[in-house]
Structure 1
Amino acid sequence: MTGTMKGHCLCGAVSFEATVTKAESGVCHCEMCRRWTGSALVTVSIMPEDIRFEGAEHIRAFTSSDWAERAWCDRCGSTLYYRLTVDDYGPRTYAMALGLFDDPDAFPVTEEIFIDRKTSAYALAGDHRRLTEKEVMAAYGGS
């Protein structure tokens, strides 16, 4: 499903309305995402001009690398998004946490990255693209 979608954090202090152009989600299994969420980070990519936040005063961000930040609600601690902060690795989209959306089933998984870093505690079903750490770094120019 594409079009206008809504969502919010656990306590509702931060909510958003987003124009979704691709009805898909991606999964990251890197160590930072695992430690931040307690598992894999599942996200929906939204362009900055396509999202409007309510309660932005409750959004806190942490610079987790030289190229990105991670944000959460300061009231309930819900993971909100991962966002690039430099242009070197692609557009500065919001990788919004899938669980925030009112209709998370609208976004099938189309890609998993850092698949070789995934814990053996679970596996995601489906036939979708799966990239290793080496493949991700080669594709996006990281080190």
Structure 2
Amino acid sequence: MKTILLKNGYVQYPDEWVAVKNMDPAKCDYCGAVQVRNGYKYNCPTFLFFLDRPILEITDEDRNHIYQTVIKKFPLFQQIMDDHVEIIRDNNGQILNLEEWDEAPTHECFPIPEHDGIGIHVGASIYRKEYGTD
């Protein structure tokens, strides 16, 4: 596991993840991960990024900045974005392009949870001083 200090605590994340410094971690209290469904086809790792507010509050502009930072670290991410396929549905809600969509990559940002001292999280966790885990 790797560790990066945050404004109030630290984040621990797996060695195989790649941290991208879209923001100064020392000024951030939150982290997220960019993960890619079907990313194995591109040998794409999970990317850790930093936030000064919860992930639910980020804008499309913030998200685009994160993705551009990922591209600088892993240029093939642009191809992943280009290869993404949107779902097309008929009037009954049935997916018309299921096979094409299922084979394509889908990328998204996910929050890194705070370690609460009792739960087990897969992947990364944020540790705060008040939990006594640092």
Q: Into which bin does the TM-score normalised by the smaller protein fall?
A: under 0.3
Which of the two has higher C-alpha Rg? 2
TM-score, normalised to structure 2, is 0.25
- Which structure carries more strand by proportion? 1
Kindly indicate which of the two structures has a greater share of residues assigned to helix.
2
